[in-house]
Structure 1
Amino acid sequence: MTDLQTSIGDFQFDNVFMNASGVRCYTEEDLDALAQSDAGTFVTKSATQAKRLGNPSPRYARLELGSINSMGLPNEGLDYYLNYALKFQEKHPGQWIFLSVAGLTMEENLAMAHTIEDSDFNGLVEFNLSCPNVPGKPQTGYDFDRTKEVLTNLFTFFTKPAGVKLPPYFDLAQFDQMAAILNQFPLQFVNSINSLGNGLMIDPETDTALIKPKGGFGGIGGAYAKPIALANVRAFSQRLDPKIQLIGTGGVTNGRDAYDLILAGASLVQVGTLLQEERPAVFTRLSRELQAVMQTKGYTNLSDFKGQLKTQ
């Protein structure tokens, strides 16, 4: 039998798959469906302090090889997701979930971090530094000085297990710079990548941008993102302190895609566009397909091949 168990720090998970924040995790009903699926864990919608409606519709569209979206961080607010997480851990001791936050300012991030620090939440916290679809708000993850400032202020008081979600990078010097910053902090994980920011697609029937917000600019997900996700996971796996583990996100359409992210160094694999289209039942198919690839290779555990990518 092939075993899909994995871990982040001291947190153990029965399956390597989970959702990407923002996809089918908006409401309690969404989160319950993830909890009841074959995913090993799940993450809540990236929260702001107050509820946000997000960008106007249409703000999501299917593409031939993925999706384009400009959601604008619609969410029910931190208290909603924190309360859900506290109820979940009370009902399911020993099952760990991720709580994601994405403040629009440093002050908001720090205020939410204080709220979580003062709570009884005992899972993992994701600080999302990579929201590409909020008009007028640049991604923190592309400002290295700002990223270091945020993390420095954060870890003066925050003691719960935490990690960051990053945008995609495209230059080896960017990997070097960001890894040098991240290695200075007690991070449990790095989640890479968020969607490919500010793509544009056109409806050939109407000559109109497919989505409305930001003049049609939006994050690109799905198969389009796989080579970039693999490169980012691989690059950070070679540069980060071994204590910082990787969550690989981007381009998963089948079990082989997940295998490739693990081969590049991921300890968990998130699913976004595919989950949006196929709903949480997709985790059953992906698990079966990943196990089939492992069996073909003669592997029984993820540790048999994680991070073992060969080069010519």
Structure 2
Amino acid sequence: MSASLHTSFLHSSYDNPFMNASGVHCMTTKELEELSESKAGGFITKSATTLQRDGNPEPRYFSVPLGSINSMGLPNAGFEYYMSYVLDYQEKNPNLNPPFFSVAGMSVEENLKLLRRIQDSEFYGVTELNLSCPNVPGKPQVAYDFELTKEILTKVFEFFKKPLGVKLPPYFDFAHFNIMTDILNQFPLCYVNCINSIGNGLYIDSENESVVIRPKDGFGGIGGDYVKPTALANVRAFYTRLNPNIKIIGTGGIRSGQDAFEHLLCGATMLQVGTELYKEGPSIFDRLECELKDIMNKKGYATIDEFRGKLKGL
């Protein structure tokens, strides 16, 4: 019997756990439609701000041998563009799961305003609040400011009653895992997404003795193979600490079925693909599905639930 990748997530059923990572192949309705027609189990919109944003000057993304570096600057088509798409998708596909809807306001007030608009809308899917973005110049990104994170979530859940997850940056210290877990466990979150890119890396073109992206003097977020060990650590750390009702989406360094298997073994329920999707396009989901099934068949696993979260210690 061939292994099944069927995944239950927030009372919905998905053919497999694979999704795009917000920011990759989801800027336009054309790209979103290509995701909906691919083998991805689900998909998510580009993180939206209230108004359309052009983002940072190019070049702002650069593929490197083991991954990528980027400083995109939140380019997106604006909240109403994506809201119109997801509502239209719901109407045309009432028997399918709607896309996840990602928002990333440029301030606390903007995030609250966007979430109020979602709460008041007919959208019945899952919303992702990106807390891995800087909101105030000179301040760290929101999720590295623990007091601000708690303040935002307190304000959000005073009015937001629909399914909500949060996108988190990577953490590197057990104390930070513990502090953030204590905060997250106080709220009716559906999931946490671990991780966004590792911030402020630097890649050098030694031939030209220069950086490879224009914004921020070449500093940018690192993705791909470079970040997989950090992503796995964050998935595992939060899986073993969070309330079991809060699921984990694993993101970071997934380019093969083996990578997907490791994220699931650490406790992830859904999986998002970023850098490798950018490089290969939506056909990657066919390959990942086949590779993960092959691994499960060789190990004798009929379902993902048989091994999810069951990472062994030594």
- TM-score w.r.t. the length of structure 2 is 0.97
Alignment partner of 1:86 is 2:87: yes
Distance 1:227 1:280 in 2: 24
Contact 2:106–2:135 at 8 Å: present in 1 too?
Answer: no
Contact 1:70–1:133 at 8 Å: present in 2 too?
Answer: no
Contact 2:20–2:43 at 8 Å: present in 1 too?
Answer: yes
What residue number does 1:27 align with? Answer: 28
What residue number does 2:163 align with? Answer: 161
What pairs with 1:133-212 in structure 2 (closer than 5 Å)? 138-212=140-214
Query: What amino acid sits opposite 2:249 in the alignment?
Result: I
Alignment partner of 1:272 is 2:274: yes
Q: Partner of 1:308: helix, strand, or coil? A: coil
What residue number does 1:290 align with? Answer: 292
Q: Partner of 1:49: helix, strand, or coil? A: coil
What residue number does 1:6 align with? Answer: 7
Contact 2:266–2:308 at 8 Å: present in 1 too?
Answer: yes
Distance 2:84 2:144 in 1: 31
Contact 1:8–1:188 at 8 Å: present in 2 too?
Answer: no
Task: Rate the CA distance shift 1:94–1:184 in 2: closer, same or farther, 3 A.
Answer: farther
Q: Partner of 1:266: helix, strand, or coil? A: coil
Contact 1:55–1:74 at 8 Å: present in 2 too?
Answer: yes
Q: Partner of 1:294: helix, strand, or coil? A: helix
Contact 1:8–1:189 at 8 Å: present in 2 too?
Answer: no
Query: What's the CA shift for 1:131?
Result: 2.5
Contact 2:257–2:290 at 8 Å: present in 1 too?
Answer: yes
Cα-to-partner distance string for 1:230-277 (whole Å, 9 max, x where unaligned): 000000000000000000000011000000000000000100000000
Q: Partner of 1:248: helix, strand, or coil? A: strand
Cα-to-partner distance string for 1:17-48 (whole Å, 9 max, x where unaligned): 00000001000000000000000000000001
Distance 2:135 2:236 in 1: 26
Instruction: Name whichever of 130-139 and 187-196 sits farther off.
Output: 130-139
Aligned residues: 312
Contact 1:72–1:135 at 8 Å: present in 2 too?
Answer: no
Q: Partner of 1:221: helix, strand, or coil? A: strand
Q: Partner of 2:253: helix, strand, or coil? A: coil
Alignment partner of 1:15 is 2:25: no
Query: What amino acid sits opposite 1:104 in the alignment?
Result: M
Distance 1:166 1:191 in 2: 6
Query: What's the CA shift for 1:95?
Result: 2.1
Distance 1:221 1:131 in 2: 16
Q: Percent identity?
A: 57
Query: What's the CA shift for 1:306?
Result: 0.3
Distance 2:30 2:88 in 1: 14
Q: Partner of 2:292: helix, strand, or coil? A: helix
Contact 1:132–1:219 at 8 Å: present in 2 too?
Answer: no
- TM-score w.r.t. the length of structure 1 is 0.98
Query: What amino acid sits opposite 2:13 in the alignment?
Result: Q
* Consecutive unaligned residues in structure 1, runs of 5 or more: none
Cα-to-partner distance string for 1:52-72 (whole Å, 9 max, x where unaligned): 100000000011100000000
Query: What amino acid sits opposite 1:114 in the alignment?
Result: R
What residue number does 1:38 align with? Answer: 39
* Consecutive unaligned residues in structure 2, runs of 5 or more: none
Distance 1:23 1:137 in 2: 26
Task: Rate the CA distance shift 1:250–1:118 in 2: closer, same or farther, 3 A.
Answer: same
Query: What amino acid sits opposite 2:280 in the alignment?
Result: E
Distance 1:134 1:101 in 2: 17
Task: Rate the CA distance shift 1:106–1:133 in 2: closer, same or farther, 3 A.
Answer: closer
Contact 1:132–1:197 at 8 Å: present in 2 too?
Answer: no
Distance 2:22 2:240 in 1: 25
What residue number does 1:281 align with? Answer: 283
Distance 2:145 2:228 in 1: 24
Query: What's the CA shift for 1:14?
Result: 1.2
Contact 2:36–2:43 at 8 Å: present in 1 too?
Answer: yes
Query: What amino acid sits opposite 2:11 in the alignment?
Result: D
Distance 2:137 2:114 in 1: 21
RMSD, aligned α-carbons? 1.2
Alignment partner of 1:127 is 2:132: no
Match among 234, 237, 240 for residue 235 of structure 1: 237
Contact 1:133–1:218 at 8 Å: present in 2 too?
Answer: no
